[in-house]
Amino acid sequence: MNIISITQAHRKTSHTIIESDDDSDIEMDDQGIITRTGTGTGASSSLVVTPGELITSDPTWMKGHGTYYLTSSSTTTTDENNNNNNSEMPTYSSLAGTIQKVNKLLTVVPFKGRYKPETGDHIIGRITGISVKRWKVDIGGERSATLLLGSVNLPGGVLRRKTEADELQMRSFLKEGDLVNCEVQNGGGDGGCMLHTRSLKYGKLRNGVFVKVPSGLIVRSKNHSFDLPGGVSIILGVNGFCWIGMTKRDGSGNSNSSGNVIGNNLKTEAGLTQKKYK
Amino acid sequence: MSRLELYSPEGIRIDGRRFNELRQFTSQLNTHPNVSDGSSYVQQGNSKVICLVQGPMESLSNTNAGGASKLDHNGPILSININYPPFANNVRKKRMRNDRRLQELCVVLKRCFLKTIVSKNYARTVIEVNITVLSMDGGLLACCCNAITLALIDAGIALYDYVSAISIGLYNQIPLLDMNTLEENDLSFITIGVVGDSDKLNLVLCEDKLPLDNLEALISLGIEGCHRIKQLMDEQVRLVGTDLLSKKQ
């Protein structure tokens, strides 16, 4: 049975009456991008797929994130647990995104989506809660991250023992709503990620402006903090949380030292505000 | 009120369509990029619906603070909320906040999408879907279903396939595709949601009495209509996707 549908004119097409055919090949001709729904294995690296689209029926490909396959008994299984024989199982996409191939692993990278933490990412988080020996940090991901009391630098030096007194006054180091400049210690997995600020360049952020951008726009690179001329420095967290603040000039060069240690706040804050009016 | 001629002998419906003709379908993705993870706007004829998706996240964003304790270890908690303001209808009508019919629709949609989302990827998370009806001219459930599909895709949530929905009514043995309000008021109709390009139904809702022997004809026309809608949605997803990609490079 044919369906009549009148679609709005966009781009070149105008007042088209399209009748659906039996084959469901979809093409988009207006930008020269042609996607196929048939089989076929070798394809270009940046191919756009949408949920439910058949990526390949070649069983040699491993099924990574953003893909799924249907077993013969029509029960659905996904992602990494392909240890049993999944041969002759065609791979489908479960996300709208581009296909990425690493050796024989097929993954679909979504156009958009929440930040997925990876080990070593330089990010900015916001403290949302305090529990026993740990802070709960919102990093803009699916789950909130944990910052252990043991993985921050406490006032008075790097190698200080964390005593019970520290445990009791955790809120004085970092309280709810504070922004922390930190690194992902072990990310990914299912149980949320762990953070640490065990370097002098990390720590609590103050005297600046917080900006949030989509995390997909930030490229993972070696350096994420930049000093701009005029005493402004910016930190572009991989999770899309950015910080624009004053350059810390106490210590040596741009490796801002003691000024960043958590809890050393009052003195530094006063120092910075003085500098502001110089 | 005079009796309306819903289907003329020449085969023209009250708004000039044929029996197998869809209303104009327009959709937009990523309409509210700053306030939500995924957002969409769907327009089917004069029915206009906005859908915002928050999540997956650890707990509900607003008021419901008690949600954290009852997180599901096997899949996401899907909370669907339909906001139907008084101005959306032809006749201004204030609705109770817990309208029986809307709550029922929410349950139907929730069941449908819990089967569609790849749930094992989202254990112990919450996905919050908020729908706002801007104007309604028939096909409430179908519009909402299409809007949710697009918004979930936009949010980067893994789905097994598209779910496209349409309403089909029955007029003297003749199935009518994509009903408007006038037709919905006088005829009995059924809403179906189809999984992708297959013939599988993920959503069936019939709120009226319908002769059983006509059901097959209705559903077969509905499936064809859903396939067309899926095609239109897919085109839009690709358009927005390539646009987003070009911004990244």
Reduced to 3 states, what is the DSSP secondary structure of residue A168? helix
The DSSP 8-state label assigned to residue A265 in this structure reads: H
Instruction: Print pLDDT tens along chain A (278 aa).
Output: 688 887 766 654 334 444 444 444 444 434 333 344 433 333 444 689 999 999 988 888 888 999 998 875 544 554 444 444 445 688 999 999 999 999 989 999 999 888 989 899 999 999 999 988 899 999 988 888 999 988 888 766 656 666 788 888 888 889 999 999 999 998 766 667 899 998 888 889 988 999 999 888 898 999 999 999 888 999 999 999 999 998 876 544 444 433 344 344 434 444 444 444 43
Q: How far is B93 from chain A (nearest CA, A)?
A: 31
Q: Structure pTM?
A: 0.82
B238 contacts in A (CB within 8 Å)?
Answer: 26, 28, 33, 35, 48, 50, 96
What is the ipTM, given to two decimal places?
0.86
Which of A5, A26, A92 is opposite residue B21, by nearest beta carbon? A5
Q: Any bridge partners for residue A246, and if so which?
A: A232
Q: What is the per-residue pLDDT for A34?
A: 35
Look at A95 and B156 and tell me if their CB atoms are within 8 Å: yes
For chain A, list the domains and their CATH numbers: 30-111 (2.40.50.100), 122-276 (2.40.50.140)
Q: What is the per-residue pLDDT for A159?
A: 64
Structure tokens, B80: 């669907």
**Alpha carbons B180 and B164: distance in angstroms, whole number:** 17
Give which of B26, B77, B122, B239 to mutate to test A binding, by max A Cβ within 10 Å. B239
User: For chain B, which residues score pLDDT lower than 70?
Assistant: 1-2, 60-69
Q: How far is B73 from chain A (nearest CA, A)?
A: 11
Q: Any bridge partners for residue A19, and if so which?
A: A4
Measured N-to-C along each axis, helices B100-116 and B140-154 cross at an angle, to the nearest 10 degrees, of 40
Look at B232 and A6 and tell me if their CB atoms are within 8 Å: no
**Alpha carbons B151 and B145: distance in angstroms, whole number:** 10
Q: Which chain B residue's Cα is nearest to A51?
A: B161
Place of tokens 């916001």: A126
Q: What is the per-residue pLDDT for A190?
A: 67
Give which of B18, B21, B150 to mutate to test A binding, by max A Cβ within 10 Å. B21
User: CA-based angle B105:B21:B25, to the nearest 5?
Assistant: 60
For chain B, list the domains and their CATH numbers: 25-248 (3.30.230.70)
Q: Which residues contact B23 (CB under 8 A, 6 or more apart)?
A: B15, B17, B44, B45, B46, B47, B178, B180
A7 contacts in B (CB within 8 Å)?
Answer: 24-26, 232
Place of tokens 């949609």: B109
